[in-house]
A and B are shown apart, each in its own frame.
Chain A
Amino acid sequence: MTDLTPIYRIAGLGILVAVLNIFLVQADRKEQAQMLSLAGVIIVLLWLVQMVAQLFENVEAVFRW
């Protein structure tokens, strides 16, 4: 069975960012809320870039002859 940990990790960070976002918007700090959302996306993208690199390496390895 494949490793689903990255999915859970990304979902967890997404929920955390969403909740904090709601708090910040309620506290009238729209700027910080936007920054937090952006930071979350960048963190997840950093994880994903490594996974995409691994995926492309695997594709290359599978079709190499």
Chain B
Amino acid sequence: MLWLPVAAGIAMVLTAIQSELREEHPAWAVVTALSFMVVVSLALLPRLEGVVAVFTEMAETANVSSIYLAPVLKAIAVAYITSFGVQLSREAGEETIATTIELAGKVVILLVAVPLIQAIFSTLLALLDY
């Protein structure tokens, strides 16, 4: 767990530098934030992989079909990826770009969830003997 103090320390130093960069060189401020985000996320992902592995194992033990678990995991991944882009462009003051990426993420999550909605609908119809 040595990476958490390191990440927090780098974050503090960068926060101090960012307040200067944001006024003098806005482009460098964005680049700095992006590089920090990418490095920390790359370091965190292997840990997240373990958590996801436990979840899938639990689902297998409980006999939950992959049709139901896969959309959940995909939605989480889409949320992560879109939040990276949205947060970065919003901080740089590009509200239009951020909103567009947000919309794209929502549409993709909706597409991922379509099989689930279909399953709920067919279950409902079966309950009603339709």
Contacts and interface: CB of A to CB of B under 8 A. Distances in A.
12 contacts: A2-B43, A4-B39, A6-B38, A14-B32, A37-B27, A40-B28, A41-B28, A52-B38, A59-B41, A63-B77, A64-B73, A65-B56
A55 B44 CA distance: 10
A44 B21 CA distance: 15
Interface of A: 1-2, 4, 6-7, 10, 14, 37-38, 40-41, 44-45, 48, 51-52, 54-56, 58-60, 62-65
Bin the interface of chain B by size. Answer: 20 to 34
A9 to B, nearest CB: 9
A65 B42 contact: no
Interface stretch (B45-53, B96-104, B121-129): B45-53
Main secondary structure, interface of B, reads helix
B45 A58 contact: yes
Contact of A55 (B32, B41, B69): B41
Contacts of B27: 37-38, 41
Contacts of A58: 42, 45
B76 interface: yes
